[in-house]
Structure 1
Amino acid sequence: MSATNHAPTAHARRDADVLIVGGGLSGTLLAAQLLRLPGRRRVLVIEPRSELGRGEAYSAVELGHTLNGNAARMSVDPDNADDLTQWLSDYIAGGGWPESDRQAVPVSQLFPPRGIFGLYVQQRLAEARALGAARGSTVAHVRAEVVDLQADAEGARLTLDDGLSLSGAFAVLATGMFPAARTPQTESSGLNAAALDPWDVSAMARLDPGATVLIIGSGLTMVDAVVSLEQAGHRGPIEVFSRHGLLPQVRRQPPEWVDFLAADPSIRSPRQLMRELRRQCRLALADGVDWQAPLDTVRAHIGRLWSQATEAQRRQFVRHVRPWWESHHHRSPPLSAELVARLHEAGRLRIHAASFKGLEPGTDGRLAIRIRRRGEGATTRVAGDALINSSGIEYDWRRVARPLPRQLLARGLIQPGPLALGIRADAAGAVVDAQGQIARRLFALGPPLRGMWWESTAVTDVASQAKALAARLVALG
């Protein structure tokens, strides 16, 4: 999957049938689906990284940074839930990932390293490319960043960071996630400039092993940061600050549970959902069944429930339920959770329910932050030797200080999604502009549609969206 050179083209000639902006999971799965469909088409994937299929999530190289779902839950083939399990079985049998025996479970229950998952995605793309080539379809990787985009009824034109441009019949925003730790903000607190990257083990290895590390945020990024610190040889105290002080639950393998939402279509609002979900969890516990069993049945209904909820109901969910939903639904892989629990029980890792209020001047080479503990009015100064921003994903495109989101907003080609989560689109991914018009040539999938479906970041969600969008683009083409 080597990158290709790109050159200016005449305005009247299209460089591609489909231009995909972003070559992480979303863009790669869309390209693969387009290649699998009958017909001939040219696809260009514009991605600044040297490889397709990895993006932010799957560029990790440390074996300790694993998926937070087991293999049975992470197939990129929407028609075969066992696709990753089958691929992983062959990969391990061929000598790959010898450390897998540490988990001592069947292959379907393994939590693969994210770097290995990236290899799986790349192989599926390579297979789709071979199939497409037999039909005259191609996909090429343009290694560049898209800094501007224009779209009208006739097509789309991208401007790249080297000043060159590409034109196509359709453009798709497959930009993936903007991790807060790696994303410039329009209103910066200076946190990222002072903080270590949560996944940069080499930078953490340069710390004094006994250094006091402060972490902002207690979700899955924090879990990754703790794994990074452990692999870097850190042995000092870790102080974690988050508004509610909640840790991700550990992901287990619960038994099947009745799909209570399918059985009762009267459940429509977030309040009704939470009331019934609590009841189902109590029933499960009374029967000696893991409470995660009923919770896992909700996953298939989230998009429908979220899309039919009113704006007030969505705000209520985000304000009052979201922290507990995130910590219970987006759960930690077992080995990572065991590490966090072990450090917490040993007193090396402490969790504080407190909000980050800004950086403070440090002394003697140390740094300091100001926090406000939950339930207190006054703020407190906390000093440490290193700082990590683990506050998760930035979904509000108005706050992302990168050229393309800024230009799209300035041109009025997009508008913020519900509750300013991602961008607005119709049910099939066609982008809605600032005037409320549905684009004919500009589409989106994956994390940019967070506000439309709430859960639009999981592998299975992205895979399903990619298949549906590919079919729509081919039908329109």
Structure 2
Amino acid sequence: MSRGFSIGVVGGGASAVCLIDALARAQGEPGSITVFEPSANLWRGRAYQTDTETLKVNATPDDMSVRAGDHAHFERWLETRDRIVGVRDGVDRWSGARFAPRTVYGEYLEQSAYAALGDLRRQGWQVHLVGEAVTSATRLTDRVVLRTGAGRARAFDYVVLCVGGDSPKDVYGLTGAPGFVGDPYPIADKLRTIESRDHVAIIGSGLTAVDIILSLAAQGHQGKISLLSRRGVLPGVRQKPVPFELRHFTSERIKSIAEQRRELTIDDISAVLRAEFRDSGADLDGVVEEIIRVDLEDPLDRLRRQIDEVDSPHMGLRILQRAVPETGPDVWPVLREEEKVQVLRTHYRTIMSLCCPMPPGSAGVLLELVEESQLAIHPGLQDISAGEDGGFEVLTAMGETFVADKVISAVNASEGKIPTSALPLVTTLMRSGAASRHPHGGLHLARATSRLTVNGRPDPRLYGLGNIAAGSLFFTFGVPSLVDRSMDIVGSILEHAETVTSARAEAVPVSV
């Protein structure tokens, strides 16, 4: 029987690894932790499962550490691995920066998780891994009961929802059609059905689409590749890293301003950003223009220009790419509602394309394929339908039609959408009044603690981490954000547990 409190973690992907590492570092009173993960990708999640090494992490090692306050944690792990395997892979030929294969990052997540669990065991914690899906939850007075599909029930003092994201959407109802691939991962398996001269159409133009194109190129695909989307916006191209620290647009500064007023406007945020840009000698107006011109500039012209700007000395985009994931979660909850709606409707996907850029090497491969007339980008996608005699008929807004042999969906699920696999669990929480849906996606959470909230009241027993917080926070899926929120959650749990323990001690009558 554990001497301390118990924590149930629903989901065993990257967010759970960050949480467990934060808990191990906190050195709190030992209790028990149970992780529920039904898939074979424990600790790796869907994004970092075992796959081809063609797929790269789209950030440098210092942005991928699961260890709070230690940006070099992943980099040191990579250096150790390099010495063992004798290969230093993932170095970008355009920028010299390193973008590790995603399957290698999955190894790092696995080893970090088991190392943290080992630390917890040495501290006296009980650790349990359950390979079952949680299908329902019941909020009792001081506990949360989780039930799995197998019918087993376990009660916990605290529960953290780390349910991850969803698989691609089948927007055009192609499921079941011969030649349609609804979920491209793991790519090494899913592309085996593609013949070398097939005309492959890819729905979507984000990072998943880039993964598919790079993998087709790596396996020597000779047929045409058509990239289909409504806007034709590719991910931005990451510039060569330049070390710097935010001085104005920090969480501490935003929290300080928020203490003085209930809501902030975009003008308030812009004033802080302008100070950041001014002190760095950067041009904020240039970044604003970059955001506005996305739908006005030809996608290939934008790709060429951004490749040419990989070594740019201008810091504007680098500041934006640091500020959004680091400070965005603190800005979003205090921004006026009407301005949140404006950002989501008008600029969200553009900002994400700039703040989640692809490595320059990936962009270079895309451009080479375009110049060889193998890859074509088709914005204005209207419809795709399965042909009666096989193949797929594609229709664009310009009236262009053509036939593809195979279609692969790279359409990401809406940010903040509750994953299909987690819907039964989340539905039971909402029906019982223990959770509430956020109008912008995910669940209502408290900014400072990531506690689930209902009617503005935070629940000290229930927490959300990752995409499930997308409506309440902003940029919830990057590793730096997961690390920061994990620290918030662990701190909140330990503080509440200490308060409960003290209250119980005071309630015990003293024998004379």
Q: Paired residue for 1:319, among 345, 359, 362?
A: 345
Question: What residue in structure 2 maps to residue 174 of structure 1?
Answer: 162
Q: How does 1:277-296 map to 2 (within 5 A)?
A: 279-280=283-284, 282=286, 288-289=313-314, 291-296=316-321
**2:321–2:354: 8 Å Cα contact kept in structure 1?**
no
Q: Does 1:52 align with 2:13?
A: no
Look up the match of 1:228.
Answer: 215
2:238 aligns with one of 229, 251, 254: 251
Q: Given the superposition, is the C-alpha separation of residues 261 and 34 from structure 1 closer, same or farther in structure 2, using an over 3 Å criterion? A: closer
Is contact 1:155-1:169 (8 Å) kept?
yes
C-alpha displacement of 1:261: 4.6
TM-superposed CA distance for 1:334, in Å, is 2.7
1:102-251 aligned within 5 A: 103=93, 109-181=97-169, 189-194=172-177, 195-196=180-181, 197-199=183-185, 200-251=187-238
Render the CA deviation track for 1:203-243: whole Å, top value 9, x for unaligned. 32222211111112111111112123223442211111222
Q: C-alpha displacement at 1:53, in angstroms?
A: 1.6
Check conservation: 2:162, 2:464, Cα contact below 8 A. Answer: yes
In the TM superposition, 1:299-310 aligns within 5 A as: 299=324, 300-310=326-336
What's the counterpart of residue 5 of structure 1?
none
Q: Taking structure 1 as reference, are residues 69 and 203 closer, same or farther at Cα in structure 2, changes over 3 Å only? A: same
1:98 to partner: Cα distance: 4.7
Deviations 1:245-265 (A, max 9, x none): 111122122435684753997
Amino acid paired to 2:450: G
Match of 2:14 in 1: 25
Q: C-alpha distance in 2, partners of 1:340/1:55? A: 27
Unpaired segments of 5 or more residues in structure 1? Answer: 1-11
Alignment partner of 2:460 out of 426, 437, 440: 440
Secondary structure, counterpart of 1:150 in structure 2: strand
- The gaps in structure 2 that reach 5 residues or longer are 259-263, 291-308, 498-512
The alpha-carbon deviation at position 407 of structure 1 amounts to 3.6
Identity %: 23
1:329 aligns with 355
Q: Say whether residues 1:74 and 2:64 are aligned partners.
A: yes
Query: How many Å apart are 1:279 and its aligned residue?
Result: 3.7
- DSSP-derived class of the 1:180 partner: coil
TM-aligned CA distance change 1:307 to 1:469, over 3 Å: same
Offset of 1:19 from its aligned partner?
0.6
Cα displacement (A) at 1:305: 2.4
Q: Secondary structure at the match of 1:475?
A: helix
In structure 2, the CA distance between the partners of 1:409 and 1:211, relative to structure 1 (3 Å rule), is farther
The alignment's C-alpha RMSD in Å is 3.3
**Letter of the structure 1 residue corresponding to residue 138 of structure 2:** Q
Deviation digits for residues 303-352 of structure 1, max 9, x if unmatched?
A: 23222211211111112112321221110023322222211222222222
Alpha carbons 1:422, 1:447 under 8 Å: kept: yes
Contact 1:176 1:446 in 2 (8 A): yes
Are the aligned partners of 2:229 and 2:380 in contact in 1 as well (CA < 8 Å)? yes
Deviations 1:336-382 (A, max 9, x none): 2222221122222222222454x4241321123555x2xx6xx7655
1:64-111 deviation line (CA, Å, top 9, x unaligned): 1111101122111111111111111111112265544675977xx311
TM-score, normalised with respect to structure 1: 0.84
Q: Which residue of 2 aligns with 1:89?
A: 79
Moved more, 422-431 or 340-349: 340-349
SS of equivalent to 1:140: strand
Q: TM-score, normalised by structure 2?
A: 0.79
Q: Is the 8 A contact 2:416 2:471 kept in 1?
A: no
- The 3 A distance-change label for structure 1 pair 259 and 19 is closer
Aligned-partner residue type, residue 425 of structure 2:
L
How many residue pairs were aligned? Answer: 450
Q: Against the structure 1 CA distance between its residues 169 and 161, is the aligned structure 2 distance closer, same or farther, given a 3 Å change threshold?
A: same
Say which SS state the counterpart of residue 175 (structure 1) adopts: coil
Equivalent position SS for 2:470? helix
Corresponding position of 2:451 = 430
Contact persistence 1:423–1:449 (CA under 8 A)? yes
Paired residues of 2:392 and 2:404 also in contact (CA < 8 A): yes
- Secondary structure of the residue aligned to 1:325 is helix
Aligned counterparts of 1:145 and 1:96: Cα–Cα separation in 2: 39
Instruction: Please name the residue that 2:390 is paired with.
Output: 365
Give yes or no for the alignment of 1:393 onto 2:413: yes
Which 10-residue stretch deviates more, 249-258 or 262-271? 262-271
Give the stretch that moved more between structures: 381-390 or 398-407: 398-407
